[in-house]
Amino acid sequence: SKPIVAIVGRPNVGKSTLFNVLAGERISIVQDTPGVTRDRIYADCTWLDMSYTLIDTGGIEPDSKDIILSQMREQAEIAIATADVIIFITDVRQGLVDADSKVADMLRKSGKPVVLVVNKVDNFDKFMPDVYEFYNLGIGDPIPVSAASRLGIGDMLDEVSKYF
Ligand code: GDP
Ligand code: MG
């Protein structure tokens, strides 16, 4: 059967934007307020001659006791358990934050292959210097992308499909 790819990361890093780019449709709701994608959302996608199932998740806020945020985290945990490969997405504009490190710990425990993506790199010259700090997560090479401007998507999918 088709490999399953889950997009995980903190709220607002651009998971749903990336999901829609990969799905080629506006299936997932993109918004500035966290908590919009509470359920897991699926799409059948292709890259070159490969098919895969993509899952968007609401986001992981590691320590939150808020009911909605903990439901989102639960859905993300199910997606991680279901996935063959995980796209772990972070935000260059916010930089590396403690919550990213906690998500990285969760992902390491899952034992699943992880592709680390740094989103919102809308201008490579301007933002590349800020991408390097994500090496500190110790979860692999950070791949710069701009979901909004559709930059770096092919390089990202090349990495993801190595695990198919
Ligand atoms: P999610 O909560 O992780 O699903 O994030 P969303 O996809 O809903 O995006 C959150 C906000 O970030 C929205 O305002 C998006 O328009 C914005 N965003 C997403 N991707 C990019 C990007 O590549 N560059 C910039 N500048 N903004 C982005
Ligand atoms: Mg979302």
Average pLDDT, the chain: 93
**CB 60 near ligand 1, within 6 Å:** no
Find the mean pLDDT for residues 112-116.
Answer: 98
Q: pLDDT of 17-29, one tens digit each?
A: 999 999 998 888 7
Q: Which of the ligands is closest to the CA of residue 8?
A: 1
Residues with Cβ–ion distance below 5 A, ligand 2: 15-16, 37
Could you tell me the distance, in angstroms and rounded to a whole number, from the CA of residue 95 to the centre of ligand 1?
Answer: 14
If one compares 35 and 44, the residue with the highest pLDDT of the two is 44
Which pairing describes strands 4-8 and 50-56: parallel, antiparallel, or unpaired?
parallel
Q: Which ligand 1 atom is nearest residue 37's CA?
A: 4
Q: What is the DSSP string of the chain?
A: ---EEEEE-STTSSHHHHHHHHHTS--SPP-SSTTS--S-EEEEEEETTEEEEEEE-----TT---HHHHHHHHHHHHHHHH-SEEEEEEETTT-S-HHHHHHHHHHHHHT--EEEEEE---SHHHHHHHHGGGGGGSSSPPEE-BTTTTBSHHHHHHHHHTT-
CATH no. for residue 107?
Answer: 3.40.50.300
50-68 tens-digit pLDDT: 999 999 998 899 999 998 8
Express each pLDDT in 92-110 by its tens digit. 999 999 999 999 999 999 9
Separation between Cα atoms, residue 19 and residue 112, nearest integer Å: 19
Alpha-carbon dihedral angle through residues 153, 120, 127, 137, given to the nearest 10 degrees: -80
Query: Is pLDDT above 70 for 34?
Result: no
Whether 3 shows a pLDDT value over 60: the answer reads: yes
Does ipTM exceed 0.85? yes
Host domain of residue 67: 4-161
Instruction: Give the number of whichever ligand sits closest to the CA of residue 40.
Output: 2
Q: Is 20 annotated as a binding residue?
A: no
**CA nearest 45: which of 161, 162, 163?**
161
In total, how many domains does the chain have? 1
Percent of the chain at pLDDT exceeding 90: 83
Residue 67: burial class (beta carbons within 10 Å; 0-12, 13-18, 19+): exposed
How many A from CA of 13 to the centre of ligand 1?
6
* pLDDT above 60 (res 44): yes
Query: What per-residue confidence (pLDDT) applies to 38?
Result: 60
- Report which residue type is found at 139: I
